[in-house]
Amino acid sequence: MIEVAAKPGRSWLHGLIEPAGRPSLRRHLLSSLLVPLMMLLVVESLVTYGGALIYSNHVHDRDLADDAMTLAQMLSQEDLGGKVSPQARFLLEYAPEGHNYFNVSSLNHGLLAGAPELRPASLKGAAQDGEPALYTTMLGRRQVRAATVRIPNLHDPSDQLTVTMAETFRDRHQRAREILLLSIPAQAILIASVFILVLYGVRVGLRQLDPLTARLASREHDLAPIGDADVPVEILPLTRTIDGLFARQRGMLSLQERFIADAAHQLKTPLAGLRVHVERAQADPSKETVHDALQHILRLTQRASRASSQLLALTRVQSTESADAAPLCLLDLAQLVPEMLSVRVHDAIAAGVDLGYEGPSGPVWIDGDRISLQEMLDNLIDNSLRYAGRRSILTVGVSAMPHGASLSVEDNGPGVPPAFLERLGERFFRVPGVVEEGTGLGLAIVQRIAERHRAHVRYLNGSNGGLRVEIVFPPARTSKSLS
């Protein structure tokens, strides 16, 4: 039963009864619209009540003024003689519309009938030209609306009649409430209709995501970009973020595949050599053969260890390019490089190489990563120690340039033929004819680290016939704050 209800034939009100435990875009949209609509109903009710009260006050004021004017004209035609006739008193006391208070006074005879507190002396703004004056006043503790009219007494030209009629606000508020109660159902139906239309519109609008959902669901291992073809504008930031994630995943998968291929390429020869020498030692267990086989095995394991270390280093450098690498910070090459060289002095002495440093006395600023620069310099020094030969001279230099800084490593070894200089830095490339064993990854690591620092690597023939490697760094972006 539950599975059937969840199929495409489900009710279009399903968005309101989705499980509350899971976030729902539809439910969020509808709830964010429902609250303003309910607030709109409240505001509309207040506005309607205010308008109805204004209209009720206008109608009651007009009736009150007409009643006061009618009674005043009727009384002015009678010979009052200080008294109000029974017929006029009946009309004054009859209050079907809530005219509960009245006052009739004469200029010559004073109060003729009605409430003494509404006598003309206490009235403000009473009309002098026969037109009723409307005003709000207090009668005891009760607020009332009053209408006063003054007209001459036709039977006594020297006399003047003042008629005041007042009523409470009860009927006015009652009429306003009746109008409000009549309008609330219509407003509620209108808002409910709007909400239903919005609910339908949200459901139809979310269907625009169906083609994109179906296209993504049809993928298995495809990490190609989603693209913007059928993507609504509102979710473009989301799809572009997913495209960025796909790109990073493609980069990581490419690195993994490349690492596996490189490891197979680099470790195939040492592993094959290890097997050969193990089988040779097993076939001839003599001391000389076993000793020679062990020497070869030691050399092959060292080669495999170095190859694996170089592969891991290259993969690490490449992964920091595609992932979120640590930000570059301001570094002083003139201070940093001597510190890095101090830990390589013993390696140079063991290799019979004279390691030296040349640099300015002042700072040379670049934007860099200390750990990556240490790895880059170690690979350059290892390359020279391996191929320059014993009793060679290796010089590491730092210099400031008009548009950046330069780090150079130069030896006086056999050097590299000019035809192969451009290929230095390629993965697994080794200069033909070189006897020394190597992985061909050291300068590739240098190349990747330089690219991360936005630096340019140049391979040159040194002034003493050896190889000179220069890394030219761009100006430090924060150097202006130091000047």
Is 46 inside any structural domain?
no
**pLDDT tens across 112-124, in order?**
777 777 654 344 4
pLDDT at 428: 65
Sheet of 110-114: strand order equals 110-114, 101-106, 156-168, 142-153, 133-139
Identify whether residues 335 and 456 lie together within a single domain.
yes
Q: Is the pTM of this model over 0.95?
A: no
* Cβ proximity of 425 and 459 under 8 Å: yes
Last residue of a domain, one of 263, 293, 319: 319
The most confident of 146-150, 194-198, 277-281, 407-411, by mean pLDDT:
407-411
Identify whether residues 352 and 433 lie together within a single domain.
yes
pLDDT at 3: 40
Write out the two tokens for 139: 């009668």
Q: Which of 98-102, 154-158, 295-299, 456-460 has the lowest mean pLDDT?
A: 98-102
pLDDT at 249: 73
Identify whether residues 334 and 456 lie together within a single domain.
yes
Q: Say whether 49 sits in a helix, a strand or coil.
A: helix
Last residue of a domain, one of 319, 342, 377: 319
* Cβ proximity of 435 and 388 under 8 Å: no
Q: How confident is the model at residue 322 (pLDDT cuts 50, 70, 90)?
A: very low
Write out the two tokens for 38: 């309910």
Identify whether residues 300 and 372 lie together within a single domain.
no
Q: How confident is the model at residue 477 (pLDDT cuts 50, 70, 90)?
A: confident
* Cβ proximity of 470 and 408 under 8 Å: yes
Q: Look up the CATH number of the domain holding residue 104.
A: 3.30.450
Identify whether residues 330 and 314 lie together within a single domain.
no
Terminal-residue alpha carbon distance, the chain: 76
* Cβ proximity of 61 and 99 under 8 Å: no
Identify whether residues 206 and 169 lie together within a single domain.
no
Residues in the chain: 483
Amino acid at 437: E
Identify whether residues 340 and 273 lie together within a single domain.
no
More confident position, 175 or 313: 175
Identify whether residues 27 and 93 lie together within a single domain.
no
Q: Which of 81-90, 172-181, 190-199, 414-423 has the lowest mean pLDDT?
A: 81-90
Identify whether residues 209 and 290 lie together within a single domain.
no
CB-side neighbour CA atoms (13 Å) of 347: 14
* Cβ proximity of 138 and 153 under 8 Å: no
Identify whether residues 314 and 331 lie together within a single domain.
no
Give me the domain span that covers residue 72. 52-175
Is 228 inside any structural domain?
no
Last residue of a domain, one of 319, 342, 368: 319
Identify whether residues 334 and 462 lie together within a single domain.
yes
Q: Say whether 168 sits in a helix, a strand or coil.
A: strand
Task: Provide the percentage of residues in the chain whose pLDDT is more than 90.
Answer: 12
Q: Look up the CATH number of the domain holding residue 238.
A: 1.10.287.130
Is 395 inside any structural domain?
yes
Amino acid at 372: S
> Based on the structure, what is the number of domains in the chain?
4
Question: Is the sign of the CA dihedral 304, 306, 308, 310 positive or negative?
Answer: negative
* Cβ proximity of 337 and 358 under 8 Å: no
Q: How far is CA 358 from CA 96, 98, 374, 392, in A?
A: 114, 110, 17, 17
